Amino acid sequence: MPVQERRLILANIDRDGYTPDIDCYLRNGGYADLKKALTLDGPAIVAEVKTSQLRGRGGAGFSCGMKWGFIDPKKNTKPVYLICNADESEPGTFKDRQIIYKDPHQLLEGMIIACYANNVHLAYIYIRGEFVLGAQILEKAIAEAKTEGFLGKAINGTGYDLEIYVHRGAGAYICGEETGLIESLEGKRAYPRIKPPYFPAVLGLYMCPTIVNNVETLCNIKHIVRMGGAEFAKIGKPNNTGTRLLCVSGDVEKPGYFEFEVGALTMGELINDVCGGIKGGRKLKAIIPGGSSAKVLRAGERYKIKSKKPDGTMEEKEIGLLDITLDFDTLAAAGSMAGSGGIIVMDETRDMVECLANINTFYAHESCGQCTPCREGSLWMKKVTDRLVAGEGLPGDPKLLKTVADNIAGRTICAFGEACAWPVQSFVAKFPEEFAKHAEGKVATAARKGTVAQEPSKAMEAA
Amino acid sequence: MKNPFNHDHPPADTPLVNVQIDGVWTQMPKGLNAVEAARRVGKFIPHYCYHPKLAIVGNCRMCLIETGGPKMDASRAPVLDASGKPEINWVPRPAIGCATNLTEGMAIRTDSPLVQECRRGVMEFLLINHPLDCPICDQAGECKLQEYSVQYGNDHSRFVEEKVKKPKRVDIGERIVLDDERCIMCSRCIRFAKDTVHDDVLGFTERGSHTTLAVHPGQRFDNNYSLNTVDICPVGALTSKDFRFQMRVWFLKETKGICTNCATGCNTIIGSRESTLYRMTPRENEAVNSEWMCDQGRLGFHYIHDPKRLTQPIARHGPETTPLAWSEIIPQVAERLRQFVPEQIGIVASGRLTNEEAFLVAEIRRVLGGDSVLTDYVPRFGRADGILRSADLNPNTHGVTLMGLSNGGASLADLRRSIDAGQIRALVVLHEDLTAEAGWDGATLQKLDLLVTLGLLQNPTTDRADFILPGASFAEKRGSMINGAGRLQRLNRAIPSPGQAWDDWQILLRLKEALGGGNGLHTIEEVFKAMAAQVPAFAGLTLSRIGDLGIELEAAMPKETATE
Ligand SMILES: Cc1cc2nc3c(=O)[nH]c(=O)nc-3n(C[C@H](O)[C@H](O)[C@H](O)COP(=O)(O)O)c2cc1C
Ligand code: SF4
Ligand code: SF4
Ligand code: SF4
Ligand code: FES
């Protein structure tokens, strides 16, 4: 029997007659979890979140409870800020927008609880500039929540005050990186900060302790309060708890967004049972499992996955790509990551060099330009893959790509360095024959309709 | 000078921690960054964006090093090696040295294979889009990109793509030209402008490899400290309009000097070739100017090469002027001065004189009649800017005051009245133009029977003078001055004086001898010694003991700093 979706966050989204206004939300039991939360004290909620083992849904998969625990309410004397990261820009990722557009009060409720738990009185939703309507929807939802007494002064008759502001980005992917986001919120260029010393939990917004959480992460808080952390932790697998919004795009029959218990289904089940299989009955070639920066996985690869058996002993299994269960730990063990939940599927007709050129174009365009390796390396890699695609490859290109990427990853200010290096490293390593063919300089990718326009390198033309 | 950051000088009471640098254990102040720590043990971690006086942003990645901490056993106690020192757990990922702050037991590797590979990578990235204008670039010869390329870079390029094109010759301010293609985006200039000068007009536009330094729309980078960015820019992106294309830096002789454009006395390096001064740059002195100087001071040297520069001793008899040798003119000046009684003589001294010169002027005054010789100096005031510039625009007000040559300018009016009244008939003017600086009119000077001037430039006062004695500029002589904060500092000779122009102290010494006989002084050192014997503030000092960074005088000196 195909695995069933477990709709926790998407419970109401796309349901007939469900609207984003507060009346509809209240009719469906909205803000009851906030009312419950307000009867608890903050540290108790933080403890529940720790118990829930919730991991961040923004990309890094960091423990949410641990992140909150970095701020010690007994020692901290500064105001604490909370920022909802609604910058959703990772290619292949389109989950947060469903929440924002279709169920904004779910986000607000989760956010208000998170703020209350961490003694936050001022919070921001940093939303990507392109979500123009989304920002309006959130503004409206905030106004409604205020009218109903769930936001503003003396929330729901308690002594707790909270203001939430929506801040629109101006169209840069790097504003999703939490310290770049903070700089941007402060009115500066979104140059990510060096860590140390500027960990958000210590020196965040206006140099005060700051919690940055993804939209989906914050929605989960509401459900953790309702169920209790222990109950929540029963969903999914240990250390991989809760549900996960998965965004499937690319060469499948039925792309879309889905919600499953973490680790409840395999890649094969997702593609074949949920998404109707590979488009046109073609064969699978590769999958990027966690947004464009995740390392690509190739059909036919074998992975050795260690897991803990119920009796506590470790067992190692060798599995194929379609057997990978969709959870943080398994994808990491397979050498990639669950990332942002954006699953990009490529079929046998895809030219992997062209796919990489597309990704490289994105990262070269989005590098903030602050630190040397990423600034210079991202454009260099793009130029090389453009050349390869244009049939102007040189024999040394695959090795060049690899070494350039190696010189970026691990040496930059922010994880964008890895984000732009990992695709290159993994594509070149896993599809050597395709790169070698292009490197002979003879193969120009047959122009596909609707793919990126390539700038032929003038230097090469001259040569 | 108060810097917003002083990463190189942590407070003296900072506790020490044990750290291992390239295998050697040593003690360092806690929290010191690895670049500075390495420097203290004679190791160099190359860096572009890091500057000890600026905020740390860690963007160039040139300073990547390996770091580690003590290996802990199960009971959280450090594991010791055979020699009893903690074993190190190395972190696989390199860290930037500029933002690695020392903690107890920390270990760093400044030159391991991984570190070398990181540097090669960064150098390659910095060069792929660099225009390599070196043959026509003013920075060549003192360019960190060139230097580190030789030391840490690759010997070949793997880049076959077209380079990114950016604006060149951008006029961003009164004194600075920007070449965006040469910029390595270290943001030093931006941070300096924003945090040190509070003139936040520089910033980056565009993204990624297209990132472009620019001045904010409608703004100019014109503040009085703008040229410091030319110094701290590691490459030739920011160049001084004044120095651009004037001289290849490797031909410049460097002489330690001090700026004489205000009482702060910023320490400088004078860059000269043969008899021409090409540029002045700040020389680090934490007690005075840190690593900076103002643009006015920096560029305030061109007058020494002015066509109006006096290069020949001249005597005037009516309309006739006669060039004379020093051996001829000095006895004539002495002879003429001797014809007046003390009450008939006046002296206008200058806050631009060195201590030694002022001392000799005081000696001459003593020979001529001491207190009866009405004497004062010409005060010159501007506005302090709270950064470096002092309100007092004379470099050595303290010195002339200490030698008894100043009445704060209050006696200048008396002097003028006495001349107008015919009481004072002989006047000696040192390094001042009374018409321009003191506002006198020519008629007063016409009343004099004798006018002797010692100075650098032809002006209405020298036009009227009976004797014109061409002296030496700050770059052409030795001696000392006391800055506004009471610090005794030295001038050094970078270039020879033009023509027959001569060291002022020599001229004054000879004149004194001609007036009152020799006293066995032959060198500037001896003049200083004689002065130190008479002036308690200098007791026990010699010219050499002052040192390159000067010394704070013990004697109570009226304190005046730029920040007041
Ligand atoms: C280049 C880059 C882009 C990112 N973009 C986003 C984003 O659009 N949305 C997001 O939630 N997190 C993004 N992140 C991750 C954030 O930095 C941060 O880890 C996250 O918001 C934390 O929330 P979580 O713990 O709830 O996942 C990005 C990270 C990097 C390095
Ligand atoms: S890694 Fe890239 S995106 Fe991140 S700070 Fe450096 S240049 Fe900017
Ligand atoms: S900045 Fe340095 S490397 Fe660049 S052109 Fe000038 S001298 Fe050459
Ligand atoms: S102009 Fe010079 S100092 Fe300014 S950012 Fe560029 S390289 Fe750095
Ligand atoms: S000097 Fe450390 S990153 Fe630039």
Give the tens place of pLDDT for each residue, A273-292.
Answer: 999 999 999 999 999 999 99
Q: What is the CATH number of domain A352-462?
A: 1.20.1440.230
DSSP B189: H
Structural domain range at position B287: 156-305
Residues B112 and B197 in one domain: no
Q: How far is the CA of A419 from the centre of ligand 2 (A)?
A: 10
Domain containing B76 — which CATH number?
3.10.20.740
Choosing from B77, B97, B122, the residue where a domain stops is B122
What's the whole-number mean pLDDT along residues A42-54? 98
Question: Domain tally for chain B?
Answer: 3
A419 inside 8 A of chain B by CB: no
Q: How far is the CA of A190 from the centre of ligand 2 (A)?
A: 10
CA angle B153, B155, B161 (to 5 degrees): 90
Please tell me the predicted confidence (pLDDT) of residue A355.
98
Total number of residues shown for chain B: 564
Distance from the B456 Cα atom to the nearest Cα atom in chain A, whole angstroms: 50
Cβ of B191 closer than 6 Å to ligand 4, yes or no, is no
Q: How, if at all, do strands B170-173 and B479-482 pair?
A: unpaired
Q: At A311, is the pLDDT very low, low, confident or very high (cuts 50, 70, 90)?
A: confident
Closest ligand by atom to B235 CA: 3
Cβ of B96 closer than 6 Å to ligand 5, yes or no, is yes
What's the whole-number mean pLDDT along residues A25-42? 97
Cβ of B236 closer than 6 Å to ligand 3, yes or no, is yes
Of the ranges A157-166, B98-107, B434-443, B531-540, which one carries the lowest mean pLDDT score? B434-443
Q: At A446, is the pLDDT very low, low, confident or very high (cuts 50, 70, 90)?
A: low
What's the whole-number mean pLDDT along residues A226-239? 97
A371/B61 touch (CB, cutoff 8 Å), yes or no: yes
Q: CA-to-CA distance for A186 and A124, rounded, in angstroms?
A: 11
What's the whole-number mean pLDDT along residues A203-231? 98
- Report domain extents, chain A: 22-234, 241-347, 352-462
Q: pLDDT tens digit string along B157-194? A: 999 999 999 999 999 999 999 999 999 999 999 999 99
Tokens at residue B155, please?
Answer: 């010997």
What's the whole-number mean pLDDT along residues A94-116? 98
Residues B267 and B326 in one domain: no
Cβ of A418 closer than 6 Å to ligand 1, yes or no, is no
A384 inside 8 A of chain B by CB: yes
Q: CA-to-CA distance for A376 and A361, rounded, in angstroms?
A: 13
Measured between beta carbons, which residues in chain B are less than 8 angstroms from residue A460? 160-161
Q: CA-to-CA distance for B361 and B543, rounded, in angstroms?
A: 19
Residues B327 and B273 in one domain: no
Residues B273 and B323 in one domain: no
Pocket test for ligand 2, best of A416, A418, A420 (most atoms within 8 A of CB): A416
Residue B6 lies in a domain: no
A369 inside 8 A of chain B by CB: yes
Residues B295 and B325 in one domain: no
Nearest CA in chain B to A458: B162
Q: CA-to-CA distance for A359 and A363, rounded, in angstroms?
A: 6
Choose among B103, B96, B85: nearest CA to B122.
B96
DSSP B258: E
Higher pLDDT: A90 or A3? It is A90
Residues B105 and B168 in one domain: no
Q: pLDDT tens digit string along B369-413? A: 999 999 999 999 999 999 999 999 999 999 999 999 999 999 999
Cβ of A56 closer than 6 Å to ligand 1, yes or no, is yes
Q: CA-to-CA distance for A62 and B3, rounded, in angstroms?
A: 39
Whether the Cβ atoms of residue B464 and residue B482 lie closer than 8 Å to each other: no
ipTM of the shown complex = 0.94
Q: Which atom of ligand 5 is nearest to the CA of B49?
A: 4
Residues B213 and B104 in one domain: no
Q: pLDDT tens digit string along B183-228? A: 999 999 999 999 999 999 999 999 999 999 999 999 999 999 999 9
Closest ligand by atom to B228 CA: 4
**What ranges in B220-286 are assigned the alpha helix state H?**
228-232
Q: Is residue B451 classed as helix, strand or coil in its secondary structure?
A: strand
Query: Chain-wide mean pLDDT for chain B?
Result: 96
Secondary structure, 3-state, B35-102: HHHHHHCCCCCCCCCCCCCCCCCCCCCCCEEEEEEECECCCCCECECCCCCECEEECCCCEEHHHCEC
Question: What are the beta bridge partners of residue B107?
Answer: B20, B68
Distance from the A191 Cα atom to the nearest Cα atom in chain B, whole angstroms: 10
A370/B101 touch (CB, cutoff 8 Å), yes or no: no
B211 inside 8 A of chain A by CB: yes
Measured between beta carbons, which residues in chain A are less than 8 angstroms from residue B128? 376, 380
Q: Ligand 5, atom 3: nearest CA belongs to which residue?
A: B58
CA angle A449, A451, A452 (to 5 degrees): 140
Please tell me the predicted confidence (pLDDT) of residue B147.
98
CATH architecture of A22-234: 3-Layer(aba) Sandwich (3.40)
Is pLDDT above 70 for A453?
A: no
Q: CA-to-CA distance for A334 and A298, rounded, in angstroms?
A: 11
Match 């670049």 to its residue by tokens: B35
Torsional sign, CA A269, A274, A279, A281: positive
What's the whole-number mean pLDDT along residues A317-325? 96
A366 inside 8 A of chain B by CB: yes
Q: Which atom of ligand 2 is nearest to the CA of B208?
A: 7
Whether the Cβ atoms of residue A49 and residue A64 lie closer than 8 Å to each other: yes
Measured between beta carbons, which residues in chain B are less than 8 angstroms from residue A373? 61, 121-122, 125
Fold observed for domain A241-347? Ubiquitin-like (UB roll) (3.10.20)
Residues 6+ apart with CB under 8 A from B155: none
Closest ligand by atom to B208 CA: 2
Choosing from B122, B147, B173, the residue where a domain stops is B122
Percent over 90 (pLDDT), chain A: 92
Of A196, A375, A377, Cβ closest to residue B185: A375
Is pLDDT above 70 for B264?
A: yes
Percent over 70 (pLDDT), chain B: 98
Residues B82 and B160 in one domain: no
Exposed, middle or buried: residue A264 (CB in 10 Å: 0-12, 13-18, 19+)? buried
Distance from the B298 Cα atom to the nearest Cα atom in chain A, whole angstroms: 32
Q: pLDDT tens digit string along A359-411? A: 999 999 999 999 999 999 999 999 999 999 999 999 999 999 999 999 999 99
Domain containing B193 — which CATH number?
3.30.70.20
Residues B363 and B509 in one domain: yes
What's the whole-number mean pLDDT along residues A159-166? 98
DSSP B16: E
A vs B, Cβ pairs < 8 A, gives 110
Residues B206 and B89 in one domain: no
What's the whole-number mean pLDDT along residues B91-116? 98
Is pLDDT above 50 for A226?
A: yes
B443 inside 8 A of chain A by CB: no
Q: How, if at all, do strands B551-552 and B88-90 pair?
A: unpaired
Q: How far is the CA of B47 from the centre of ligand 5 (A)?
A: 5
Residue A64: C-alpha distances to residues A43, A215, B523 (Å): 14, 12, 77
Q: At B319, is the pLDDT very low, low, confident or very high (cuts 50, 70, 90)?
A: confident
Residues B413 and B349 in one domain: yes
Closest ligand by atom to B60 CA: 5
Secondary structure, 3-state, B19-53: EEECCEEEEEECCCEHHHHHHHCCCCCCCCCCCCC
Pocket test for ligand 5, best of B47, B125, B126 (most atoms within 8 A of CB): B47
Tokens at residue B541, please?
Answer: 């000092």
Domain containing B318 — which CATH number?
3.40.50.740
Is pLDDT above 60 for B561?
A: no
Higher pLDDT: B560 or B470? It is B470
B61/A412 touch (CB, cutoff 8 Å), yes or no: yes
Choosing from B278, B305, B332, the residue where a domain stops is B305
Please tell me the predicted confidence (pLDDT) of residue A445.
62
Q: How far is the CA of B34 from the centre of ligand 4 (A)?
A: 23
Q: pLDDT tens digit string along A233-285? A: 999 999 999 999 999 999 999 999 999 999 999 999 999 999 999 999 999 99
Q: At B558, is the pLDDT very low, low, confident or very high (cuts 50, 70, 90)?
A: low
Strands (E), A223-308: 236-237, 240-241, 243-250, 256-261, 284-288, 297-298, 302-308
Is pLDDT above 50 for A126?
A: yes
Q: At A451, is the pLDDT very low, low, confident or very high (cuts 50, 70, 90)?
A: very low
Residues B87 and B218 in one domain: no
DSSP B194: I
